[in-house]
Protein backbone atom coordinates (compact mmCIF):
# COMPACT_ATOMS: atom_id res chain seq x y z
CA UNK A 1 0.00 0.00 0.00
CA UNK A 2 1.06 3.56 -0.61
CA UNK A 3 1.23 6.30 2.00
CA UNK A 4 2.40 9.89 2.20
CA UNK A 5 3.79 11.64 5.26
CA UNK A 6 4.20 15.37 5.48
CA UNK A 7 6.61 15.88 8.30
CA UNK A 8 5.45 19.32 9.43
CA UNK A 9 1.84 20.24 10.06
CA UNK A 10 2.63 23.94 10.36
CA UNK A 11 5.52 26.00 9.07
CA UNK A 12 5.74 29.65 10.08
CA UNK A 13 8.23 31.74 8.14
CA UNK A 14 9.01 35.41 7.59
CA UNK A 15 8.46 37.07 4.25
CA UNK A 16 11.41 36.77 1.83
CA UNK A 17 12.89 33.86 3.77
CA UNK A 18 13.45 30.46 2.13
CA UNK A 19 11.15 27.59 2.97
CA UNK A 20 11.17 23.81 2.63
CA UNK A 21 8.08 21.66 3.10
CA UNK A 22 8.97 18.05 3.64
CA UNK A 23 7.24 15.02 2.16
CA UNK A 24 8.10 11.35 2.41
CA UNK A 25 6.25 8.56 0.70
CA UNK A 26 6.06 4.82 1.01
CA UNK A 27 5.34 2.54 -1.90
CA UNK A 28 6.35 -0.88 -3.11
CA UNK A 29 5.76 0.16 -6.72
CA UNK A 30 6.63 3.17 -8.84
CA UNK A 31 4.55 6.23 -8.20
CA UNK A 32 4.16 9.68 -9.60
CA UNK A 33 4.46 12.58 -7.17
CA UNK A 34 2.55 15.83 -6.93
CA UNK A 35 2.37 18.98 -4.85
CA UNK A 36 -0.90 20.87 -4.61
CA UNK A 37 -1.73 24.16 -2.88
CA UNK A 38 -5.05 25.07 -1.31
CA UNK A 39 -5.85 28.68 -0.54
CA UNK A 40 -8.60 29.40 2.04
CA UNK A 41 -12.06 28.39 0.85
CA UNK A 42 -10.75 27.18 -2.49
CA UNK A 43 -10.02 23.91 -4.22
CA UNK A 44 -6.61 22.45 -4.93
CA UNK A 45 -4.22 23.86 -7.49
CA UNK A 46 -1.32 21.88 -8.93
CA UNK A 47 2.09 23.39 -8.16
CA UNK A 48 4.24 20.74 -9.83
CA UNK A 49 4.58 17.05 -10.51
CA UNK A 50 7.31 14.48 -11.00
CA UNK A 51 6.81 11.76 -13.56
CA UNK A 52 10.34 10.83 -14.64
CA UNK A 53 13.61 12.32 -15.80
CA UNK A 54 15.33 15.15 -13.98
CA UNK A 55 14.84 14.85 -10.25
CA UNK A 56 14.55 18.62 -9.84
CA UNK A 57 11.11 19.79 -10.89
CA UNK A 58 10.14 23.41 -11.30
CA UNK A 59 6.59 24.52 -10.80
CA UNK A 60 4.45 27.61 -10.69
CA UNK A 61 4.89 30.61 -8.39
CA UNK A 62 8.64 29.99 -8.01
CA UNK A 63 8.30 26.62 -6.27
CA UNK A 64 10.49 23.63 -7.01
CA UNK A 65 10.79 20.12 -5.64
CA UNK A 66 13.44 17.45 -5.65
CA UNK A 67 12.68 13.77 -6.00
CA UNK A 68 15.00 11.53 -4.00
CA UNK A 69 14.34 7.88 -4.69
CA UNK A 70 16.77 6.48 -2.12
CA UNK A 71 15.21 8.57 0.64
CA UNK A 72 11.70 8.29 -0.81
CA UNK A 73 11.27 12.01 -0.43
CA UNK A 74 9.82 14.81 -2.50
CA UNK A 75 10.49 18.05 -0.62
CA UNK A 76 9.07 21.34 -1.82
CA UNK A 77 11.19 24.49 -1.72
CA UNK A 78 10.96 28.16 -2.47
CA UNK A 79 13.97 30.48 -2.10
CA UNK A 80 11.96 33.54 -1.06
CA UNK A 81 8.34 33.43 0.08
CA UNK A 82 5.68 36.10 -0.12
CA UNK A 83 2.68 36.83 2.07
CA UNK A 84 0.52 35.50 -0.75
CA UNK A 85 2.11 32.05 -0.36
CA UNK A 86 0.20 31.57 2.89
CA UNK A 87 -1.88 28.46 2.25
CA UNK A 88 -2.05 24.74 2.88
CA UNK A 89 0.22 22.52 0.81
CA UNK A 90 -0.44 18.89 0.03
CA UNK A 91 1.94 16.25 -1.22
CA UNK A 92 0.32 13.37 -3.11
CA UNK A 93 1.18 10.19 -4.97
CA UNK A 94 -0.61 8.67 -7.91
CA UNK A 95 -1.08 4.94 -7.58
CA UNK A 96 0.14 2.83 -10.48
CA UNK A 97 -2.70 1.83 -12.78
CA UNK A 98 -5.12 3.83 -10.67
CA UNK A 99 -4.36 7.19 -12.18
CA UNK A 100 -7.41 9.02 -10.92
CA UNK A 101 -6.70 8.08 -7.34
CA UNK A 102 -4.36 10.38 -5.48
CA UNK A 103 -3.17 9.55 -1.99
CA UNK A 104 -2.56 12.73 -0.06
CA UNK A 105 -0.47 13.64 2.93
CA UNK A 106 -2.13 15.43 5.84
CA UNK A 107 -1.04 18.83 4.60
CA UNK A 108 1.37 21.51 5.76
CA UNK A 109 0.02 24.91 6.70
CA UNK A 110 2.48 27.54 5.53
CA UNK A 111 2.11 30.85 7.32
CA UNK A 112 4.16 33.75 5.95
CA UNK A 113 4.55 36.65 8.34
CA UNK A 114 5.60 40.20 7.41
Partner 1 sequence: KAGVTQTPRYLIKTRGQQVTLSCSPISGHRSVSWYQQTPGQGLQFLFEYFSETQRNKGNFPGRFSGRQFSNSRSEMNVSTLELGDSALYLCASRDGTGDGDTIYFGEGSWLTVV
Which residues bind to partner 1, rule: CB under 8 A? Answer: 32, 34, 36, 41-46, 49, 51, 90, 92, 94-107
Pick 51 or 83: Cβ nearer partner 1? 51
The distance of closest approach from Cβ of residue 17 to partner 1 in the complex, given in angstroms and rounded to an integer, is 27
Q: Is the Cβ of residue 92 or residue 112 nearer to partner 1 in the bound state?
A: 92
**Closest approach of partner 1 to the CB of residue 32, in Å:** 5
Burial 25-62 (b: 16+ CB within 10 A, else e): bebeeebbbbbbbeeeeeebeebbbbeeeeeebebeee
- Give 99 or 114: the residue with its C-beta nearer to partner 1: 99
Question: Closest distance between partner 1 and the C-beta of residue 60, in Å?
Answer: 12
Q: Can you give 2-68 as a three-state secondary structure string?
A: CEEEECCCEEEEECCCCEEECEEEECCCCCEEEEEEECCCCCEEEEEEECCCCCEEECHHHCEEEEE
Residue number, 15 or 109, with CB nearest to partner 1: 109
- Cβ 73 to partner 1 shortest distance, Å: 19
Amino acid sequence: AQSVTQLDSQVPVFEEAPVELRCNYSSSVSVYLFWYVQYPNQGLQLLLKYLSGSTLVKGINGFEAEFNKSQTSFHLRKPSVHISDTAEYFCAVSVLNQGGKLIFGQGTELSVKP
